Copies of this chain bind each other. A is one copy, B any other.
Amino acid sequence: MNITAEVLVIARKAKKAAAVLANSDSAVKTRAIVEAALAIEKNAAKILAANKTDMENAGKSGVSGALLDRLELNESRIKSMAEGLRSVAAQTDPVGKILAEWERPNGLKIARVSVPLGVIGVIYESRPNVTADAAGLCIKSGNAAILRCGSESFESSSAIMECLCSGLKNAGLPEDAVQLIPTRDRAAVGEMLKLDAYIDIIVPRGGKELIRRVMAESRIPVIRHLDGNCHTYIHESADLAKAVRVTVNAKMRRTGICGATESLLLDEKIAGKFLPAIADELTKLGCEIRGDEKSCLLDKRIIPATEDDWDTEYLDAIISVKLVKNLSEAITHINRHGSHHTDAIIAEDAKAAAEFLNKIDSAIVMHNASTQFADGGEFGMGAEIGISTGKLHARGPVGAEQLTTYKYVVWGNGQVRN
């Protein structure tokens, strides 16, 4: 069978399974996920062996350190994969909720009811744990999933997939509800992106190149996760200790995640005191600081920034710093240069904070908290399939609830329209 036909067969099976899953009881879906978690723990040795093969192959093809690290599984990573599934299983069922209901003067009763999207295509790169996370979220939300893993993690993902299928089977659900594209051939991605008659939504998870390709090629709507050029803004009313602690965490806790702060804005009225204090801590942790002219004058450790720095997501131990005249300048700068992901204000003045939270056009806005909290797990969603920086359908962390849509149900007793 050629790839076109192979992917089509998978998509057809997924659509059939989706119809069953959409009408399955909460308890059954929960059981499938919990059983999958158990199977992953029981089959840890098998998964680790598969992962060893992946790691060896990747090493031979000269795959680099950071990618190898994302690819690697160990006992503790397998344990957190199983825990992630249990945490998704423990969430409230997002399907079948009455989102609104009302009655019309003619006696028609109308309800808006949450339903699954149908079939979700997830295209991801080397991390094998996405296989479990994505499948768990899709099952919870009553959707069938077609997973396309990165070629490096094919053996690991296949081993994890077996556990997911045994979970589905043990709960009496169709095993086709979660399928892995069974080939490393890159052409399979292109085939998936054409099947808008079968796949309702595509979620790409990975680097910008992958996401841009998917957005350019897909005939299917995409929940996209682009840049995370996040800001922390320190208002003149900020508390010094809080500002230092939160900023340093927001930048340096993990520099490679999308919620890491990339740019620091300081009110120029307090910068003389705050900037050196923050620079002390950042420098200790090895962070490079690139600043505008005014901040370079305030602190010798700061090297000059260029215009490009304001638009750059470093994903590294680098931060850009800019002094602003006031709240309004901070808001304008963030809405212009940010990526509408996550932005925070550090302030004791509640009115200033409210204006910031209101006027910043981002998926997540924060007051006196680290931007590193931008995460489905930290939000209490169990897990996330990604963070949407688009405005349509889902914005911010995409959990099981965001993988649903709704339908209108209308009850009458023979009404006709005039």
Contact = CB atoms under 8 A, between A and B. Distances in A.
A366 interface: yes
Nearest to A259: B417
A364 B405 CA distance: 12
Interface residues of A, number: 59
A407 B364 contact: yes
A350 to B, nearest CB: 10
B373 A246 contact: no
A144 to B, nearest CB: 13
A117 interface: yes
B363 A407 contact: yes
Contact of A380 (B102, B200, B390): B102
A266 to B, nearest CB: 17
25 contacts: A19-B359, A22-B361, A23-B358, A102-B380, A104-B380, A221-B392, A239-B414, A242-B413, A245-B414, A249-B416, A362-B407, A364-B410, A365-B409, A366-B409, A366-B410, A366-B412, A367-B411, A368-B413, A368-B414, A373-B410, A391-B405, A395-B405, A395-B407, A396-B408, A397-B408
A239, A335, A357, A411, most chain B CB atoms within 10 A: A411
A300 B117 CA distance: 43
Nearest to A200: B391
Interface in A376-418: 378-380, 390-393, 395-397, 405-417
Contacts of A324: none
List of 8 A-B pairs having minimum Cβ-Cβ separation, nearest first: A369-B412, A249-B416, A242-B414, A393-B393, A372-B417, A366-B410, A391-B405, A392-B393
A108 interface: yes
